Amino acid sequence: MGTYIVRRLLQAIPTVFGVALLTFLLFNAFGPDPVRAALGNHATPEAIANLRHQWGLDQSLPMQFADFLRQIATFDYGKSYVTGDDLGTQLKSGALVSLSVTVPPFVFGAIVNVSIALFITRHRDGIVDRAARALFIAAMSVSALVYVLALQYLLAFKLDWFPINGYEGGWAAAKYLALPWLIQLLLLMGPDIRLYRTLFLADINADWVRTARSKGAGEGRVLFRHVLPNAWIPIITQNVTTIPFLILGSFLMERFFSIPGIGNLTIDALSRGDLPVLKAVTVLGALALVLFNLVNDLLYAVADPRVRLS
């Protein structure tokens, strides 16, 4: 296991390097001039030269790329061009807020959606199954933006059950996060339950399932002891590969509910042309994807003894 982890981490280095190079070229070599954007078209040459030196943009591109690699290795991404704030502090606090937005509905939704999918599978081809399929297909046909606007209007403006701005940290954040949690749960239910139901139905009449039934196992035992374990690998893949996006936050929820997470920080950086923030978020997203792909492979071996790491 240890050898496998080390080998996978070494294999990830070229991937991270490639992402870093593409990100650097996109923002530094081919992107707009941040100095001109910050100072305007009427800035004096002296002001432009001073700001270029302050931001380290007067160095050659290879030197700038080497400094960018150092930032990635040390997780020190410098300061924002717009606010002058330390990016490490901003990203850390933003990531914690983003996780508070996305993790509770992710964890609760995974448990509830698997349970509902098992219940529907048990009543397959009956009225419960048909009604559920129709409901979830209809729910998936509605845009996420419609859910946000409709529930904000109904539950926040009309009924005044939830606040939608004025976010506070600590335990007080729960009242501001309750509605985003509810919306994310609703958005996850349709696609996740349909996927899990399909996985369960693929094995419901397999040989080992029929053997279990012939030995007197009830339908509930068949589902939990035989069908569910065989579906663990695609379920793990579905959920673990989602985790990097939890760290980066839910852009829609954070923006519409004025939550200061990484998603909101990234949208602000896009509108202001704050290149250090955009570069840092891009690279952090790549690092998270590489890391959790490794975690995904390790969990395969835990979920299924037939899988061997090689």
DSSP states of 126-155: SHHHHHHHHHHHHHHTS-HHHHHHHHIIII
Residue 251 contacts residue 103 (beta carbons within 8 Å): no
pLDDT score recorded for residue 182 = 92
pLDDT at 305: 63
Mean pLDDT for all residues in the chain: 83
The C-alpha atoms of residue 278 and residue 287 are separated, in whole angstroms, by 14
Q: Which amino acid is at 151?
A: L
Measured in whole angstroms, the distance separating CA 77 from the mean position of its chain's CA atoms is 21
Residue 112 — pLDDT band, cuts 50, 70, 90? very high
**Is pLDDT of 95 > 80?**
yes
Say which residue the tokens 């519409």 belong to: 256
User: In whole angstroms, what is the distance from residue 105 CA to residue 95 CA?
Assistant: 16
CATH topology for 87-303 is: MetI-like fold (1.10.3720)
Judged against a pLDDT cut of 70, whether residue 48 lies above it is answered with yes
Rounded Cα distance between 8 and 290, Å, is 9
**For the segment 21-32, what is each residue's pLDDT rounded down to a tens digit?**
888 888 777 766
Measured CA to CA, the distance from residue 280 to residue 20 in angstroms comes to 10
Confidence at residue 304, expressed as pLDDT on a 0 to 100 scale: 66
**In the chain, which residues fall in CATH 1.10.3720.10?**
87-303
Q: How confident is the model at residue 163 (pLDDT cuts 50, 70, 90)?
A: confident
Average pLDDT, integer, range 235-251: 82
Q: 65 is written with which tokens?
A: 């790329």
**Cβ-contact 87, 81 below 8 angstroms:** no
d(CA 120, CA 109): 16
Residues 6+ apart with CB under 8 A from 294: 5, 8, 9, 12
pLDDT reported for residue 108: 92
